[in-house]
Amino acid sequence: MTAPAAPATAPTPTPTPTPTGSVPVTDGHIVVDSVGKDYVALDGHVVHGLQPVSLSIEKGAFVSVVGRSGCGKSTFLRLVAGLEDLTTGSITIGAERVSGPPDSVRYVFQNYGESLLPWRTVGDNVRFGLRHGHGPRRAHGRTAEDQLIEQHLAEVGLHGTFSRYPGELSGGMQQRVAIARALAASPDVLLLDEPFSAVDALSRGTLQELILRIWQERGLTVLFVTHDIEEALFLSQRVIVLRPQGAGVQRDAAVDIPYPRDQVDFREDERYLALRRDVLGLVLQVEREAS
Amino acid sequence: MTELANTPPVARGTVPGPRPGADDAADLLVSLPPSDETPPVPLAVAGGPAPAVVRRSPFRRFVRSRGTGWTLVVLVVIVWQVSSFIHFEPTISSPDRIARTWWREITEGQLLPQLGRTLETMAIGFVLAIPIGITIGFLMGRSRIVWGLLEPSVEIIRLTPVSAILPIFILFLGIEQEMQVAVFLTAGLFPLIINSYAGARSVSKVLSQTAQTYRLSWWQTQREVALPSAMPYILVGARQALGISLVLAVVIGMLAGNSGIGYYILLAQQEFNINRLLAAVLTVALIGYLLNALFLLAERRISRWRRTSIGEG
């Protein structure tokens, strides 16, 4: 990308010394090894966007990353997506070492309104995903392609919206289009950056169920960033809590509650309540210490 | 018009000594609209909100949105006509006389050939300006190298009034079509460059990152994401270029050359042929209105999706 405007922040060439907590990471679908990110602030100071983090995510896992704003969770996701350069460490996805957006990964943005192509119909937005997809071309000819697009739209519950424009749809439906577009690219890994935080509460519930269904049916590896601890616990097998101000991983908690999970029953489950109290207390405690 | 009203009525065909039109022409050139007069964000096409579901025919939509405005125009013409029956003032003539002159000038006079010549020249300049202007502006917005290379020249030439460049063109290219094409090209180029640049710069960060995560090449990103995203701006630029070209179309004929609609208007004025003068001016106004309407229609077509988000039917 050759945009004329100078980026406000640039990666520093100096690596942070002594990466902490370097665990032997050999197995796993996504392997994050001592990954850190520094920015240069406008006044020339070096800001730690993310202090070295190491973790391994196995194939087909649903993992959430939570934390207060400014904890580096979005930075972490953008690093995995190859949208930003690493200051330290390395990330491998499958056999591919991340340097730029990996082929097998698709990213769902929080800001669906700006991520969709507003001049294209819903169907043509999904076609964009299909044409710029991972692996061999799945449809030959316009008719076959249209059929495949209809299937993807049906998968996210958007029957009969093929020739509508994104601007005609509600926020929740637009995010569904973005998800259908990502799925059309047949990725192995789906990265979601606070995908439902701009959506109204009722739609959020159905979208959460939708993403769980897609994850299970397709066997995707999902990395989900959110500031909502309850959402993270409901969706994931594993929740990673980041310390404030990019200070790295605070807690890596397994959510040992079987699927399918019910929106109402799940929130009355003892194990959920215990985990929620635990994680929430942790976040609030750190908050108090900081102030 | 006020000046004309003060001049004494003169019999048809008399040619006065000095050229009273020269100063007017100079004024016109100076008052060329600056290219950034219109806001860079394209405004919605004027028109009342219509229900989104019902598809109306273009004609009915037109009547709905502009009906009252055109009624006003018709009323003014009727009042003018009626008042000319009551008391005829030769300096402002009357609609029926102008219409008769207009019809004669169109069918057997010089109005159409002269207008045609001007429009042809304008079209050549415009058609040349479109690809060049869009390419330069868009690439300046998308590539730091191109921007660095061209920004100083564009800024210098852009802020130089065409009226100042005109003598240079006349000196090197004469007063024939080559010079006129060059003027149209220069004048049309800058609104296109500025707006295409603004459009290219307006591509949102999320959209660029979306293109990145779908691993589009540089060329694919420009073609599939950046250019369509910039299109509303580019259309505004094209419409501004058209507006400036129309002004120049008349002015060039008045300042240089011995053909074209500007020359025709000047001649009619010098001969104090009020009917012919007004017929020609109204024709130019009509052409301007039609070309603009054509552009708006094209804009509606191309950016159909925008109306859905703006909430217009």
The full DSSP string for A216-247 is HHHT-EEEEE-S-HHHHHHH-SEEEEEPGGG-
**B306 with A3: Cβ contact below 8 A:** no
> Tens of pLDDT along A206-246?
999 999 999 999 999 999 999 999 999 999 999 999 988 88
Residue in A closest to B305 by C-alpha: A119
> Cα–Cα distance between A107 and A123 in angstroms, integer?
19
Q: What is the mean pLDDT of residues A22-43?
A: 78
A83 interfaces chain B, CB cutoff of 8 Å:
yes
Q: What value of ipTM does the predicted structure carry? A: 0.86
> Cα–Cα distance between A47 and B176 in angstroms, integer?
65
Report the percent of chain A where pLDDT is more than 70.
89
pLDDT given at position A19: 40
**A128 with B214: Cβ contact below 8 A:** yes
> Cα–Cα distance between B69 and B85 in angstroms, integer?
25
- pLDDT over threshold 90, residue B22: no
pLDDT given at position A129: 95
B71 interfaces chain A, CB cutoff of 8 Å:
no
**A109 with B224: Cβ contact below 8 A:** no
* Per-residue b or e along A95-120, where b marks 16 or more CB atoms closer than 10 Å to that residue's CB: eeebeebbbbbbbbbbbbbbbbbbbb
DSSP state of A167: G
Three-class SS of chain B: CHHHHHCCCCCCCCCCCCCCHHHHHHHHHHCCCCCCCCCCCCCCCCCCCCCCCCCCCHHHHHHHHHHHHHHHHHHHHHHHHHHHHHCCCCCCCCHHHHHHHHHHHHHCCCHHHHHHHHHHHHHHHHHHHHHHHHHHHHHHHHCHHHHHHHHHHHHHHHCCCHHHHHHHHHHHHCCCHHHHHHHHHHHHHHHHHHHHHHHHHCCCHHHHHHHHHCCCCHHHHHHHHHHHHHHHHHHHHHHHHHHHHHHHHHHHHHHCCCCCHHHHHHHHHHCCCHHHHHHHHHHHHHHHHHHHHHHHHHHHHHCHHHHHHHCCC
Q: What is the mean pLDDT of residues A78-84?
A: 95
User: If we measure between CA atoms, which residue out of A235, A228, A224 comes closest to residue A179?
Assistant: A224
Q: What is the mean pLDDT of residues A267-287?
A: 88
Distance from CA of A250 to the nearest CA of B (A): 29
- pLDDT over threshold 50, residue A14: no
**A83 with B213: Cβ contact below 8 A:** yes
**A167 with B305: Cβ contact below 8 A:** yes
Distance from CA of B207 to the nearest CA of A (A): 5
A chain contacts of residue B210, beta-carbon cutoff 8 Å: 107, 109, 115
Q: pLDDT-based confidence at B41, cuts 50/70/90?
A: very low
- pLDDT over threshold 90, residue B252: no
How many contacts (CB atoms, under 8 Å) link A and B?
A: 83
To test the contact with chain B by mutation, choose from A79, A108, A112, A115 the residue with the greatest count of B C-beta atoms within 10 A, namely A115
- pLDDT over threshold 80, residue B264: yes
- Strands (E) in A41-154, as ranges, are 46-57, 62-66, 88-93, 96-97, 105-108
Query: Sign of the CA dihedral B233, B239, B243, B248?
Result: positive
Q: pLDDT-based confidence at B56, cuts 50/70/90?
A: low
Distance from CA of B210 to the nearest CA of A (A): 6
> Tens of pLDDT along B117-169?
899 999 999 999 999 999 999 999 999 999 999 999 998 888 888 888 888 88
Q: Name the residue with higher pLDDT: B48 or B268.
A: B268
The reported pTM is 0.77
Please report which residue ranges of A132-196 form alpha helices under DSSP H.
142-155, 171-184
Mode of pairing for the β-strands spanning A88-93 and A249-254: unpaired
- pLDDT over threshold 50, residue B52: no
B chain contacts of residue A105, beta-carbon cutoff 8 Å: 213
Backbone angles phi, psi at A99, to 5 degrees: -145, 90
Q: What is the mean pLDDT of residues B284-313?
A: 77
Q: pLDDT-based confidence at A27, cuts 50/70/90?
A: low
Packing angle, helices B162-173 and B177-201, rounded to 10: 140
B214 interfaces chain A, CB cutoff of 8 Å:
yes
pLDDT given at position B151: 92
Q: What is the mean pLDDT of residues B277-305?
A: 88
> Tens of pLDDT along B91-118?
788 899 999 999 998 888 888 898 998 9
Q: Which two tokens stand for residue B61?
A: 């939509």
- pLDDT over threshold 50, residue B11: no
A27 interfaces chain B, CB cutoff of 8 Å:
no
To test the contact with chain A by mutation, choose from B204, B213, B312 the residue with the greatest count of A C-beta atoms within 10 A, namely B213
